[in-house]
Amino acid sequence: MSRTISRRTLLKGAGAAVGLPLLEAMGAPLIAQSKPVRMAFLYMANGVHPNAWTPKEIGKDFQLTPVLEPLAKVRQDLLVLTELWNAGANSGDGHYVKTGGWLTGTTITKTTGSDLRSGGVSMDQLAAQNVGNLTPLPSLELGTQNGAQSGNCDSGYSCAYSSNISWRTPSSPMAKEINPRALFIRMFGDPKARSSEAEIAREATYTRSILDMVLEDSKRLKTRIGVTDQAKLDEYLEGVRGIEKQIQGVEKIAAATPPSMELPTSIPQDHGAHLRLMFDLLAAAFQTDTTRVATFMLANSGSNNTFPGIGVTEGHHTLSHHASAKDKLDKIKKIDTFYAEQFSYFLQKLHAVKEERGTILDNSMIVYGGAISDGNRHNHDDLPVILAGKGGGTIASGRFVKMSGQPMCNLFLAMFARAKVKAVGFGDGTRPLAI
């Protein structure tokens, strides 16, 4: 017989504490009350192709441009926005002044030293201050590239501005996690049962599974829930095991390289594989209500990543200074399409998970975009922005909308209201965007 269980029930074992998805046994009233609205901010570096990103048709009848065509399966969940801008980034040239203030809507301080100033707390961290107490992790900060936290990296701006979009205080950026294994341990390891996360990680390398650690507890839980919940739990745990197997596979490859005293790295060499693995983990974090707020830098500001898998061997940043050369613009289109494919992968994962009312994507607000429109001009107006998800049923998605030069912070104000975040104003925002 199914019995009511707590929304905060964890599967526990030696060194592991695995959160659960929403189950019927948690009680319909409880589920309705606790239905979270998640938000994530996915940052793209170096701008986009200036003429190939934006749809031509206004409203519901818009057609996805070729670079956004990978998003066709989730088109009705998209709000494509144009003519938003960040006035605070008007104070300087280059990439970093735009990136550092992307989620603050303010002007950053030009410095190469330790006196960093973002001008304000970032949007995600203000949200975490309001709703982070409801989840085990107030927020997650993800990325694919490390970055220096000092030194002169661009036109007299600190390197720290290139690798941080999340600011806990105006002078304290939130360090991001780029290692899938470390993120996996943070989400599913139980530090209370071990002296350190490193010790948990050593036990949960490719020789042992975290899910094996909680096997007995999962068996006990199944005796307390109904058949439908049992199937849902099995499907969820199989998904987590799939993520873990991917990490273990990368570690096996790393372990086959010359010996090292360090743990084998779990960072895939392929950029797309790295992105998808981090997206898998972020989707699991939203599914289990481990967090409701996240940022993900798909690449650092000014990244010069290459994309040999799609035939682009020149660096992304180098190509972004295209000077209208057709061959460079064609390669930028390939890169924009590549990132749209990874974004679509994430959205389809969120769309596939059903909840009490709709899907995780229905109950999310996922901002995908960048702090620069055209990398050749370094302009911070007409920013490339897509808002995916319906914000708990409050956003009329499936549209392309021109915003006539409104501040990006107006979008943030609109998101605050839907996530029950108290904010009288934010950055240069004047009023919530009508979405």
CATH number of residue 296's parent domain: 3.40.720
Owning domain of residue 213: 1-22+181-266
Report the pLDDT value the prediction gives residue 206, as an integer from 0 to 100. 46
Burial class (CB in 10 A: 0-12, 13-18, 19+), 29: exposed
Both 88 and 193 in one domain: the answer is: no
Look up the pTM and report it: 0.92
Both 297 and 345 in one domain: the answer is: yes
Burial class (CB in 10 A: 0-12, 13-18, 19+), 398: middle
Both 356 and 376 in one domain: the answer is: yes
Q: Between the CA of residue 6 and those of 11, 26, 28, 189, 337, what are the distances in Å?
A: 12, 6, 12, 20, 43
Q: Look at residues 202, 236, 266 and tell me which one is the last residue of a structural domain.
A: 266
Q: Look at residues 266, 294, 329 and tell me which one is the last residue of a structural domain.
A: 266
Considering the domain boundaries, does residue 55 fall inside one? yes
Residue pointed to by tokens 């948690």: 26
Q: Look at residues 266, 288, 323 and tell me which one is the last residue of a structural domain.
A: 266
Give the pLDDT confidence of 1-56 residue by residue, as tens digits: 456 888 788 898 877 888 888 888 887 554 555 578 999 999 999 999 988 999 99
Backbone φ and ψ for 168, nearest 5 degrees, come out as -70, -40
Considering the domain boundaries, does residue 28 fall inside one? no
User: What three-state secondary structure class fits 197?
Assistant: helix
Both 87 and 158 in one domain: the answer is: yes
Considering the domain boundaries, does residue 50 fall inside one? yes
d(CA 180, CA 274): 8
Considering the domain boundaries, does residue 393 fall inside one? yes
Q: Which residues lie across from 39 on neighbouring strands? A: 293, 365
Instruction: List the beta strands (DSSP E) in 310-429.
Output: 354-355, 358-359, 364-370, 385-388, 399-407
Both 86 and 159 in one domain: the answer is: yes
Considering the domain boundaries, does residue 61 fall inside one? yes
User: And the tokens for 176?
Assistant: 């991001």
Q: What letter represents residue 215's amino acid?
A: L
Considering the domain boundaries, does residue 29 fall inside one? no
Both 141 and 287 in one domain: the answer is: yes
Considering the domain boundaries, does residue 427 fall inside one? no
Report the pLDDT value the prediction gives residue 324, as an integer from 0 to 100. 94
Both 239 and 345 in one domain: the answer is: no
d(CA 246, CA 267): 10
Both 397 and 257 in one domain: the answer is: no
Considering the domain boundaries, does residue 403 fall inside one? yes
User: What three-state secondary structure class fits 318?
Assistant: helix
Both 58 and 199 in one domain: the answer is: no
First-to-last alpha carbon distance for the chain, in angstroms, is 45
Both 286 and 394 in one domain: the answer is: yes
Structural domains in the chain (count): 2
- Which residues, given as ranges, of the chain have pLDDT below 50? 1, 30, 195, 206, 261
Report the pLDDT value the prediction gives residue 7, as an integer from 0 to 100. 79
Report the pLDDT value the prediction gives residue 1, as an integer from 0 to 100. 47
Under 8 Å CB-to-CB from 51, ≥6 apart: which residues?
A: none
Both 192 and 174 in one domain: the answer is: no
Both 79 and 40 in one domain: the answer is: yes
